[in-house]
DNA sequence: CTGCACTATGAATCGCTAA
DNA sequence: GTTAGCGATTCATAGTGCA
């Protein structure tokens, strides 16, 4: 079985190939499928009212391919039409549960640099959903791998709070916690929470060529989450040499994150231009990693 | 008709009293109903699988009571049971749409100062949902009332007088602005987005007695949002002397926010202890306001 | 190589016009 | 009637170029 490959093709067909995508073979699936758009675009125009029925055959295969203790991270956000939010994402979550997935969590990805604009009835949309699904409740989760320095997350209040105030507040909720307050305060790194804010200064700086390859710009491919997003989930749900699948890999961000973290990757992309770009970006990322030890 | 009152009673019954709650009489409903809990608590233990059917009769009355151009803000967050997120919130949104509500937006309330903690399968829950529903798409929204200071990036950027945006902005407004450029730059405000982060420094400081009355701390009251949360929505969706209803008013935070903003309020609370506390807190808040002009 | 000035643009939304 | 396309609106970043 081959890993570290980007396949060109339609996930809805390719994922059914059991010789390529064996059952229970993948540790983590991270993907950001094309969102539902009322109007068709060059890339991935799935109509909102058909979204769930379009996605379910794919997620059925993903369930098969994922290891029993693996995780599935789905980055998605509904849009607005005629002043109302679309409902297909809510319906998708319910449908995925019907299909057997456990809905473990919904992370909020807070995008500070959201698209500008002003409308009469709405402000700018600055967050997206990152759903965490699993096959069973005993999934693997390496929480220590994503600890953050205290102060990075908005511990402002704790910093300004006196020690006494802090103890009092904590002990008001749970006495066991109260006892451990000193530990928390003295610890250099703490566990994060379920609101994700990716600020470059807080993470390893990745060379520009990998982040925004010139050849991939100005293509109509809109969907790039920052490298930090898959990086975070890969650290949290896999160990080195683990296998990460992205069935809508686009220009390869998930694969790059996996490669840089010494994990193995599998990607599928329907637009051959993007698939090629993804392969080249991964190659460049690996080269940079080997050279400079990124 | 009496305003500025906290009623003790069950919303499911009281709201049907058309002499108290007249049709199309309220500008804004802001509430944080008891969340679904697997085990019943002293206060508001509605079981997750019965949540929607419990809420719909209430929301039906709210629809009646709300003015056609009014808004309904629902603060809620599903819990987790057996490692899985409950689905009743998703189902509630779909059911409210069935009932005639328009789902305009889902704001993310990012609670930065949630306390550290660690569970096996999840991190701390640091955000809640604030759904915005309306009766029709032509609802009232006073966006200018909630503008926020522009990001720090502007300090550097606007130092240059030749910048395109700068010229465009100055010439686009009025000449008086142009004369006092430096002052205007320092005070420039922009529209917010749909992730709400309440940091005290950005808001009027409210005396502690109103914010956290001693008598109400450590009570098992489920839903206490900070004063800033209803304040923000009241500014956004009502004008002075507008009418704000909270059918689960608890210890009165929504009513206090309304009173401090010179709006009228109506509240319902089933636990008479809390209702009394709410009345006292509102009284104290009004007194403080009259004295010090908070 | 750092620092600053300046440019470009991003998973957007709504209303209007034309077909 | 319905749908598709276009313009106007708006702000926080990354990236580039120059001193």
User: How far is residue B258's CA from residue B291's CA, in Å, rounded to a whole number?
Assistant: 17
- B190-214 average pLDDT score: 65
Q: Is B104's CB within 8 Å of A84's CB?
A: yes
Strand pairing category for B66-76 and B26-31:
parallel
Would the pLDDT of B170 be above 70?
no
Greater confidence (B103 vs A293) lies with B103
- B53's CB contacts (< 8 A; 6+ apart) are none
For the sheet with B195-196, list strands across it: B5-8, B264-269, B243-246, B26-31, B66-76, B127-134, B102-110, B195-196
What end-to-end distance do the CA atoms of chain B give, in Å?
Answer: 28
Instruction: Give me the CA B258–C1' D7 separation in Å, rounded.
Output: 40
Q: Report whether B119 contacts B81 (CB < 8 A).
A: no
Nucleotide with C1' nearest the B153 CA: D12
Q: Is A87's CB within 8 Å of B104's CB?
A: no
User: How far is residue A246's CA from residue A58's CA, in Å, rounded to a whole number?
Assistant: 12
Q: How far is CA B291 from the centre of its chain?
A: 26
Q: Report whether A24 contacts A66 (CB < 8 A).
A: yes
User: How far is residue B53's CA from residue B96's CA, in Å, rounded to a whole number?
Assistant: 11
Q: What is the pLDDT of residue B204?
A: 43
User: How far is residue B208's CA from residue A134's CA, in Å, rounded to a whole number?
Assistant: 44
Q: Report whether A28 contacts A140 (CB < 8 A).
A: no
Q: What structural domains does chain A harbor?
A: 5-150+188-292 (3.40.50.150)
User: How far is residue A2's CA from residue A13's CA, in Å, rounded to a whole number?
Assistant: 18
Q: What is the pLDDT of residue A223?
A: 59
User: How far is residue A69's CA from residue A138's CA, in Å, rounded to a whole number?
Assistant: 6
Nucleotide with C1' nearest the A116 CA: D10
Smallest Cβ distance to B104: which of A85, A114, A141?
A: A85
DSSP annotation of B144: G
Smallest Cβ distance to A108: which of B83, B127, B192?
A: B127
User: How far is residue B256's CA from residue B277's CA, in Å, rounded to a whole number?
Assistant: 12
Tell me which chain A residue has its CA closest to the CA of residue B95. Answer: A87
User: How far is residue B192's CA from residue A110's CA, in Å, rounded to a whole number?
Assistant: 13
Q: Helix (H, G, I), strand (E, B), or coil: what is residue B276?
A: helix
- A25's CB contacts (< 8 A; 6+ apart) are A1, A65, A67, A243
**Bases of strand D lying below 7 A from some protein CB:** 4-5, 8-16
* pLDDT one-digit tens code per residue, A210-262: 444 433 443 445 557 888 899 999 999 999 999 999 999 999 999 999 999 99
A196/chain B closest Cα distance in angstroms: 10
Q: What is the pLDDT of residue B276?
A: 96
Instruction: Give me the CA A116–C1' C5 separation in Å, rounded.
Output: 22
Q: Which two tokens stand for residue A77?
A: 């956000």
Res. B118 pLDDT band, cuts 50 70 90: confident
* pLDDT one-digit tens code per residue, B49-96: 999 999 999 999 999 999 999 999 999 999 999 999 999 999 999 999
B105/chain A closest Cα distance in angstroms: 6
Res. B112 pLDDT band, cuts 50 70 90: confident
Nucleotide with C1' nearest the A85 CA: C13
Model pTM?
Answer: 0.89
Contact pairs from chain A to chain B, CB under 8 Å: 127
Look at residues B271, B258, B196 and name the one whose alpha carbon lies nearest to residue B227.
B258
Chain B positions touching A177 (Cβ under 8 A) are 115, 117
Q: What is the pLDDT of residue A156?
A: 37
DSSP annotation of B98: H
A137/chain B closest Cα distance in angstroms: 6
Q: Which two tokens stand for residue B183?
A: 């002052």
B194/chain A closest Cα distance in angstroms: 6
Provide DSSP, chain A.
---SEEEES-HHHHTT-TTTS-TT-EEEEEE-PPPB-SS--SS--B-GGGHHHHHHHHHHHHHHHEEEEEEEEEEE---EETTEE--HHHHHHHHHHHTT-EEEEEEEEE-TTPPP--BTTB-B--EEEEEEEESSS-----GGGG-EETTTSS-HHHHHS-HHHHHHHHHHH-HHHHHTHHHHHH-SEE--BSEE---GGGS----HHHHS-GGGTTSS------THHHHHHHHHH--TT-EEEETT-TTTHHHHHHHHTT-EEEEEESSHHHHHHHHHHHHHHHHHHHHH--
Q: Is A124's CB within 8 Å of B93's CB?
A: no
Tell me which chain B residue has its CA closest to the CA of residue A237. Answer: B121
Phi, psi of A73 (to 5 degrees): -110, 120
Chain A positions touching B125 (Cβ under 8 A) are 193-194
Res. B288 pLDDT band, cuts 50 70 90: confident
Look at residues B96, B110, B134 and name the one whose alpha carbon lies nearest to residue A90.
B96
Look at residues B224, B242, B277 and name the one whose alpha carbon lies nearest to residue B71.
B242
Provide DSSP, B37-63.
-SS--TTT-B-GGGHHHHHHHHHHHHH
| Helix axes of A88-98 and A51-65: crossing angle, nearest 10 degrees | 40
Res. B35 pLDDT band, cuts 50 70 90: confident
User: How far is residue B113's CA from residue A147's CA, in Å, rounded to a whole number?
Assistant: 17
Res. B151 pLDDT band, cuts 50 70 90: confident
**Residues of chain A falling short of pLDDT 70:** 1, 39-44, 151-188, 199-223, 292-294
Look at residues B245, B254, B247, B207 and name the one whose alpha carbon lies nearest to residue B227.
B254
Tell me which chain B residue has its CA closest to the CA of residue A121. Answer: B141
Q: What is the pLDDT of residue A183?
A: 53
Return mean pLDDT, chain B: 84
- B167's CB contacts (< 8 A; 6+ apart) are none
User: Tokens 């507008």 sit at which residue?
Assistant: B242
């Amino acid at each position: 079985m081959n890993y570290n490959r980007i396949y060109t093709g339609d996930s809805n067909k390719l994922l059914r190939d059991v010789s390529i995508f064996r059952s229970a073979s993948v540790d983590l699936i991270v993907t950001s499928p094309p969102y539902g758009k009322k109007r068709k675009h060059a890339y991935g125009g799935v109509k909102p009212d058909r979204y769930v029925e379009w996605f379910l055959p794919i997620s059925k295969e993903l369930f098969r391919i994922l290891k029993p203790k693996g995780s599935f991270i789905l980055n998605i956000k509904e849009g607005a039409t005629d002043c109302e939010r679309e409902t297909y994402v809510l319906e998708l979550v319910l449908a995925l549960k019907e299909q057997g997935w456990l809905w473990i969590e919904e992370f909020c990805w807070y995008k500070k640099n959201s698209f500008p604009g002003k409308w009469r009835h709405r402000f700018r949309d600055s967050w997206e959903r990152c759903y965490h699904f699993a096959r069973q409740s005993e999934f693997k989760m390496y929480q220590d791998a994503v600890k953050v320095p205290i102060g990075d997350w908005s511990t402002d209040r704790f910093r300004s709070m006196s020690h006494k105030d802090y103890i009092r507040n904590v002990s008001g909720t749970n006495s066991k916690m109260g006892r451990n307050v000193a530990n928390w305060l003295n610890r250099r790194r703490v566990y994060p929470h379920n609101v994700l804010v990716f600020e470059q200064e807080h993470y390893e700086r990745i060379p520009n060529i990998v982040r925004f390859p010139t050849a991939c710009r100005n293509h109509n491919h809109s969907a790039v989450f920052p490298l930090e997003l898959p990086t975070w989930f890969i650290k949290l749900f896999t160990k080195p040499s683990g296998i990460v699948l992205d069935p809508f890999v686009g220009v390869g961000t998930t694969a790059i994150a996996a490669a840089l973290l010494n994990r193995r990757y599998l990607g599928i992309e329907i637009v051959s231009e993007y698939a090629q770009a993804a392969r080249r970006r991964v190659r460049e990322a690996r080269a940079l990693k080997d050279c400079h030890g990124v």
